[in-house]
């Protein structure tokens, strides 16, 4: 979960102004947390306190209304849309990381990822994106190799993970769909050498930079286990205290 938040904050300033390079300053005055972080915290809080996903996602979304939500999600928060709205967007994948860390069985991870997605993103692709990210995290923290993670995701979800970042980067553009950003996020993890390199690699392809880096960061945290302390310190300078309390409670409860 920390990896997802770090990725979101570092990637935030590149969402509109993409950088097709791995050479950039990690934290600046232009950096901030976005809806990726707010909703990641909401799902973690839901799991910690056994609350309904929709209830806490709405609660957090309404408490932080300027975090950068999509149009239909804003309507859902406002109550203009009631119930899920068949979204295939990557919002389901960006908020799911705590599911991959909290649950201990494949079937449970898949079920909870689906539940967390389906409150809004009940389209097949929206659910698949959330499940793929949660399972990549689950497998990584269980000690599976990158090849095993790649094979599982390709077989289970049908994503093409055989492209390289160098092949993707030149023509990749902004794409908020799960099917157009989740595979790319996983490939960035697969090519990475360590946690920081994973974040830099994810951002370097362009597109929806904060969300891609958030997804890559979550999987990379689970795989590499160790996040450099300076990145954690940097993250904390942007977060409100109540977010930090949820992070610490989640780490303690699930020993991560």
Beta-carbon contacts of 3 under 8 Å, excluding residues fewer than 6 positions away, are 97, 195, 217, 218, 219, 220, 221, 222, 227
Closest CA to 205 of 178, 166, 179: 166
Low-confidence ranges of the chain (pLDDT < 70): none
Copy the structure tokens of residue 76.
Answer: 């859902």
CA separation for the pair 236, 42 (Å, rounded): 17
Q: What is the DSSP letter of 228?
A: -
**Burial class of residue 191 in the structure, from the number of CB atoms within 10 Å of its CB (0-12 exposed, 13-18 middle, 19+ buried):** middle
pTM of the model: 0.97
DSSP lists the bridge partners of residue 177 as 89
* Residue 210's CATH number: 1.10.4080.10
Residues 29, 216: Cα–Cα separation, whole Å: 23
**pLDDT given for residue 256 in this prediction:** 80
pLDDT value, residue 191: 98
Grouping H, G, I as helix, E, B as strand and the rest as coil, residue 18 is coil
Q: Whose structure tokens read 């997804």?
A: 215
Structure token digits, residue 176: 């908020």
Q: Which domain holds residue 220?
A: 2-254
Interatomic CA distance for residues 196 and 167, integer angstroms: 21
C-alpha separations of 140 from 90, 129, 166, 172, 190 in Å: 21, 17, 24, 26, 11
Q: What is the predicted pLDDT for the residue at 199?
A: 98
197/191 Cα distance (integer angstroms): 9
Q: Give the chain's domain count.
A: 1
Q: What is the pLDDT of residue 13?
A: 97
């Amino acid at each position: 979960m920390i990896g997802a938040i770090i990725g979101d904050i570092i990637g935030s300033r590149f969402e509109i102004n993409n950088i097709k390079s791995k050479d950039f300053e990690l934290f600046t005055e232009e950096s901030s947390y976005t809806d990726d972080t707010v909703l990641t915290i909401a799902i973690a809080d839901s799991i910690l306190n056994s609350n309904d996903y929709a209830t806490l996602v709405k609660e957090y979304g309404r408490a932080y209304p300027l975090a950068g939500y999509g149009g239909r999600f804003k309507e859902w928060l406002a109550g203009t849309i009631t119930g899920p709205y068949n979204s295939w967007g990557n919002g389901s994948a960006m908020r799911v990381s705590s599911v991959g860390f909290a649950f201990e069985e494949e079937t449970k991870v898949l079920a909870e990822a689906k539940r967390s997605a389906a409150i809004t993103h009940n389209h097949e692709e929206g659910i698949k994106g959330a499940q793929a990210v949660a399972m990549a995290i689950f497998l990584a923290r269980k000690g599976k190799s990158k090849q095993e993670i790649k094979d599982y995701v390709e077989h289970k979800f049908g994503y093409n993970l055989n492209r390289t970042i160098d092949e993707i980067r030149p023509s990749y553009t902004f794409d908020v769909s799960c099917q157009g950003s989740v595979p790319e996020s996983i490939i960035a993890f697969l090519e990475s050498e360590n946690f920081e390199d994973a974040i830099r690699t994810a951002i370097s392809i362009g597109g929806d930079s904060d969300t891609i880096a958030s997804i890559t960061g979550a999987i990379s945290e689970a795989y590499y286990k160790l996040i450099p302390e300076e990145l954690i310190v940097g993250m904390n300078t942007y977060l409100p205290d109540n977010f930090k309390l949820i992070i610490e409670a989640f780490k303690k409860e699930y020993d991560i």
